[in-house]
Amino acid sequence: MNRLPVLACLLLLSSGQLQAQDRDAVAPMVVTSDTGAYCQTLLAEIRVHPVLPPAVRELQQDGSRLCDEGLVRSGINRLRRALMVLRSGHAVSEAGQGTLPHG
């Protein structure tokens, strides 16, 4: 049996692991879970923005309400979407289809 292909695969895998370790050293991984505390973390990130487009405000309110009602996963999804919209600089259209620039 030729061991060269096996050794080449192991070398490639180990180099990928080293690169991943280097990347983790630069930007530590944040572990999240579907908890009320994570809802509050996301809400705090949204509140940093002084002006919220109406669609983002609605996502924030829906997410907060869902988290309060114990529907944490759904609430987190809304809050994450609100943050994505804020970071992209676009507002969600009224129909929820795509995005529209806001400014």
Please state the domain extents for the chain.
1-29, 36-101
Q: How confident is the model at residue 12 (pLDDT cuts 50, 70, 90)?
A: low
Q: 30-84, pLDDT tens digit by residue?
A: 667 889 999 999 999 999 998 999 999 999 999 999 999 999 999 999 999 999 9
Q: How confident is the model at residue 18 (pLDDT cuts 50, 70, 90)?
A: very low
Tell me which of 66 and 9 has the higher pLDDT.
66
Residue 103 has pLDDT above 50, yes or no: no
Residue 87 has pLDDT above 50, yes or no: yes
**CA 103 to CA 90: how far, in whole Å?**
8
Counting every residue written for the chain, the total comes to: 103
pLDDT value of position 32? 72
